[in-house]
Amino acid sequence: MPKRLLVLLAAVMATSIAVVQTRHESRQRFSELQTRQAERDALNVEWGKLLLEEGAWSQHRRVEAMARSRLNMNTPDAAHIRVVRVTRDSAP
């Protein structure tokens, strides 16, 4: 009888250790999953910002292209550019 009891005790201990180890690994994996999800969310936010920025840049290019093609507008050369300085005294 004591031999069976020792075998059962050893089986219970081995099972208990396996359960503890499995739970520990499960918690580690869950923590890693949460970290990865946070990284994914941050990357999605950055991607959205980049899409907005791309839209802003492409909008400017589109306006410039339309001004050139439809209105025959061009960038003036340096001889036709005048710089006007406004001071506080001359401002309305």
- Would the CA dihedral through 17, 20, 24, 25 be positive or negative? positive
The whole-model pTM stands at 0.53
Give the integer Cα–Cα distance in Å for 29 and 13.
24
Average pLDDT in the chain: 90
Are the C-beta atoms of residues 73 and 67 closer than 8 Å to each other? yes
Q: Taking 80 as the threshold, does the pLDDT of residue 39 lie above it? A: yes
| pLDDT at residue number 86 | 86
Are the C-beta atoms of residues 68 and 74 closer than 8 Å to each other? yes
| pLDDT at residue number 47 | 97
Give the integer Cα–Cα distance in Å for 38 and 42.
6
Q: Please give the average per-residue pLDDT across 40-58, as a whole number.
A: 91
Q: Please give the average per-residue pLDDT across 35-63, as a whole number.
A: 90
Q: Please give the average per-residue pLDDT across 36-57, as a whole number.
A: 93
Written as six digits, the tokens of 43 are 């990357």
| pLDDT at residue number 42 | 98
